[in-house]
Amino acid sequence: MIRYQLSSSNPATHYFEVKIIIESPDPAGQCLRMPNWIPGSYMIRDFAKNLLMLQASSGDELVEIKQLDKSNWRLEPCSGPVSIEYRVYAWDLSVRGAHLDQTHGYYNGTSLFLEVMSQSQQPCEVLIERPAADYCKRWKLATTLQRVDANPFEFGLYRASDYDDLIDHPVEMADFTPIHFEACGVPHDIILSGRFSCDEERLRSDLKKICEHHIRFFGEPAPMNYYQFLVMVVGQGYGGLEHRSSTSLMCARDSLPQPGQTEVSDTYREFLGLCSHEYFHTWNVKRIKPTVYQPYDLQQEVYTDLLWAFEGITSYYDDLALVRCGLIDEATYLELLAQTMTRVQRGKGSSRQSAAESSFNAWTKFYKADENAQNAIVSYYAKGCLIALCIDLKMRQLSQSRVSLDDVMHQLWQLRLESGAGIETHTIQDLICSIVDADLHDFLHLLIYTSTELPLEELLATVGVELTIRQAGNQKDKGGKPHEGPLPAVELGAFLEEKEAGLAIARVREDGAAQRAGLSANDVIIAVNGLKLTLAKLEQQLLLAGVGELWKIHAFRRDELMEFDLELIAAPKNTVVLQAGEQHQARKDWLKGD
């Protein structure tokens, strides 16, 4: 048994204090290490950078610690039990790290707990103490770790089966609001932490529908005995990270349903989609996972070309589940799907990088995306979602809706239950061909391993959905529905942000008018044709302008004033709208999951 103890003498300093007791250290010198990344977020984060004041003792004697590299240490040999103590600086308000102040404490085990090498398979206990400050007296504690002597939502002793289990149960400590419900007999709690207003009954009802849909989709019983949605409510923020029996979420206050509100707002719809996405991960990636993730090597990058499936297929089902369980209607779902298509369509990267390449390079090109990302890469979330759509509709077309991607996911889950084996690169493709009883390997290769345009229009037509594409109305136009008002014939080819100094260029589209003129990301436009313009006025000017019109642009690059001659070019058609035709049985089967 490896024993951990967690406390904080002063949360306002943002320090967690950690103690580890190792009863039988390695007689040759116990090694310790800190994870460098967290499962589900594929970027090296070097969590050891926040560790300080590391010391060890055995009895009354200090034990020397030698650092081997950025995240590994070795103790000098000692015969008796050894105690390790250190602090962790926790000031990362995200779902990936750790955060501690006067309002709450939150952590992932990957940010706090050193791994005891050669004893990683040992059971672990962690005593989580209430922080010492008076303002923490009202705090409760939420986690899906197994309680030993603690009552629900209380500080105390918790247990994990091994180190991997220990770091896969995030913890929230605050004066939070728990909202309880059961889904298919499994108890669930929504933990709302922060300042917010919320229609709790509506949130309970809506998440219950989503959870029951996913459990029944894969088949009862659910793989967990208890589940938590840990929600940090902030002024502005969005994100989620999956765990084996919980998810950490961050949302803005206006993402929650408000008392008296009857419609599904865009922000609440987005939040429901996020909850659906992370809950679907309980099966797809937390249990059905690539072989290279069994087990995770948290010291270095672990490469796979399958993230298009584990994130993309999950992205496909997150909103599809909302329409299948009645939280949104058909038109709303098609709007969301068209917005995903628009995001892919607007980036040059979709014609330069395949979904498999995007998956493999997640560690650098996706998670470290820069201002040129739209010209260089494609998101394996968005492109993977559209690949899943193509696979689903193709299988339904060939089988007259007898089989679909649903059956692929069901069989992947059964394979996981029967063998526990991981997924190889070819597993999903082979399974698709087997289920539909047709050789689709060339079709699948085209979707996954090339940057060829996806056959979305023809496949959507098989379920009575028409795809049209038009120019963007303005920067805020995300697609998905017809634009109200006139459409500009020309475009600037740059995404602008209003700043006090002028219009800052966030990014430029390759071969667009701005790039052709020599403008670049981070340039600040101060005048167009001798006049200072707001973004709204600039967009009005674009509506009145024609192809070939010349504009004189003055902009600052760093602290240097520069002049550019810009020739307006035709606005590309890159904004997708989907519209359902007359009633269609195949569309009904698709959207109802029949």
Structure tokens at 168: 């896969």
pLDDT of residue 231: 99
- Give the Cα separation of 182 and 188 in Å (integer): 6
Tell me which residue has tokens 């001659």: 565
116 contacts: CB under 8 Å, gap ≥ 6: 2, 20, 22, 30, 32, 122, 163
Q: Which amino acid is at 111?
A: S
Sheet with strand 65-69: strands edge to edge: 65-69, 72-75, 31-33, 115-116
Largest CA-CA distance found in the chain, in angstroms, rounded: 82
Q: Dihedral of CA 288/408/462/306: which sign?
A: positive
Helix or strand or coil: residue 335? helix
Asked if residues 65 and 73 have their Cβ atoms less than 8 Å apart, the reply is: yes
Q: What secondary structure letter does DSSP report for 581?
A: -
| Long-range CB contacts (within 8 A, 24+) of 354-358 | 354/378, 354/448, 354/449, 354/450, 354/451, 355/308, 355/312, 355/380, 355/383, 355/384, 355/387, 355/447, 355/448, 355/449, 356/305, 356/308, 356/448, 356/449, 357/305, 358/307, 358/308, 358/383
Sheet with strand 227-234: strands edge to edge: 177-183, 186-193, 227-234, 246-252, 239-242
- Give the Cα separation of 270 and 259 in Å (integer): 18
pTM of the model: 0.96
pLDDT of residue 392: 99
Taking Cα atoms as reference points, which of 462, 461, 480 lies closest to residue 470? 480
Length of the chain equals 594
Radius of gyration of the chain (CA): 26
Alpha helices in 249-308 (DSSP H): 266-280, 307
- Give the Cα separation of 513 and 566 in Å (integer): 6
Tell me which residue has tokens 């922080």: 131
Distances from the Cα of 126 to the Cαs of 503, 568, 569, in angstroms? Answer: 52, 63, 63
pLDDT of residue 594: 61
Within 10 Å of residue 560's Cβ, how many Cβ atoms? 7
Distances from the Cα of 346 to the Cαs of 171, 517, 569, in angstroms? Answer: 39, 20, 16
Q: Which amino acid is at 86?
A: Y
Please give the chain's pLDDT, 594 residues, in tens: 999 999 999 999 999 999 999 999 999 999 999 999 999 999 999 999 999 999 999 998 999 999 999 999 999 999 889 999 999 999 999 999 999 999 999 999 999 999 999 999 999 999 999 999 999 999 999 999 999 987 899 999 999 999 999 999 999 999 999 999 999 999 999 999 999 999 999 999 999 999 999 999 999 999 999 999 999 999 999 999 999 999 999 999 999 999 999 899 999 999 999 999 999 999 999 999 999 999 999 999 999 999 999 999 999 999 999 999 999 999 999 999 999 999 999 999 999 999 999 999 999 999 999 999 999 999 999 999 999 999 999 999 999 999 999 999 999 999 999 999 999 999 999 999 999 999 999 999 999 999 999 999 999 999 999 999 999 999 999 999 998 889 999 999 999 999 999 999 999 999 999 999 999 999 999 999 999 999 999 999 999 999 999 999 999 999 999 999 999 999 999 999 999 998 899 999 999 986
- The answer for 196, left when phi > 0, alpha when psi is -120 to 50, beta otherwise, is beta
| Long-range CB contacts (within 8 A, 24+) of 154-159 | 155/128, 155/129, 155/130, 156/127, 156/128, 157/125, 157/126, 157/127, 157/128, 158/125, 158/126, 158/127, 158/128, 159/123, 159/124, 159/125, 159/126
| Helices and strands in the chain: count of H runs, count of E runs | 17, 30
DSSP 44-60: ---GGGGEEEEEEEETT
Domains in the chain and their CATH numbers?
Answer: 2-175 (2.60.40.3650), 176-261 (3.30.2010), 283-468 (1.10.390.10), 490-570 (2.30.42.10)
pLDDT of residue 593: 84
Structure tokens at 293: 């993730």
- Give the Cα separation of 374 and 321 in Å (integer): 29
Taking Cα atoms as reference points, which of 330, 395, 394, 398 lies closest to residue 578? 330
Instruction: Measure CA 202 to chain center.
Output: 24
Instruction: Measure CA 574 to chain center.
Output: 25
- Give the Cα separation of 104 and 135 in Å (integer): 10
Helix or strand or coil: residue 546? coil
Within 10 Å of residue 134's Cβ, how many Cβ atoms? 7
